[in-house]
Amino acid sequence: MHNEICQPTSLSCLLCGKDNPVSLKVKWFNNYEKYQVETTVVIPHEFCSYRGTAHGGIIAALLDETAGRAVMLNNDFDHLMVTMKLETTYRKPTPTGVPVKIIGRVIKDSGSRSAVEGEIILPDGTVSATCNALLHKIPENVRESWGEAEMKEWNNTKPDQELADSERKKYLP
């Protein structure tokens, strides 16, 4: 879609890390028209709890990361936060091996703390899991501990700021 901007990724992350051999290699997109972060993922069968059913921990991780990335909808791609509290509700089994859509939205953002929500939508349109989370700004010493290579990857995969701002402005009230 023309109104979606791909968010930055990392080297070692379980979900998006390009150098992590077990990473799901997820890419998230800012959808400015709906003011939400979106991704579509096929959860591999290796991440099941029971045959054909994704493990709840993987579901929670996908919801946590997707909802948490919603704070970057303002195109401040350094506005990373860590989760202080995550509440996940499993409504029905999430299957492995089929594309599922995951959405994250900001409920409230005060700068250093945010409330976010997320949901996983199955191919038939039903919601299999939701989350609500409270986030806090990452302490600078934690951010510095990531190392030069990780920060370089993050910076190299940031979208063009002018393009991102231009797309966002199309949908501002």
Q: What ranges do the domains of the chain cover?
A: 4-147
- The model carries a pTM of 0.93
Looking at the domain 4-147, which fold is it?
Thiol Ester Dehydrase; Chain A (3.10.129)
Q: Percentage of residues in the chain with pLDDT exceeding 70?
A: 98
Assign 3 a pLDDT band (cuts: 50, 70, 90): low
Average model confidence (pLDDT) across the chain:
93
**Average of pLDDT values for 63-79?**
91
pLDDT tens digit sequence for 109-136: 998 999 999 999 999 999 999 999 999 9
Residue type, 160: D
The pLDDT of residue 1:
43
Inform me whether the pLDDT recorded for 4 exceeds 90.
no
Inform me whether the pLDDT recorded for 40 exceeds 70.
yes
pLDDT tens digit sequence for 133-173: 999 999 888 888 888 998 888 888 988 889 888 888 888 76
Assign 67 a pLDDT band (cuts: 50, 70, 90): very high
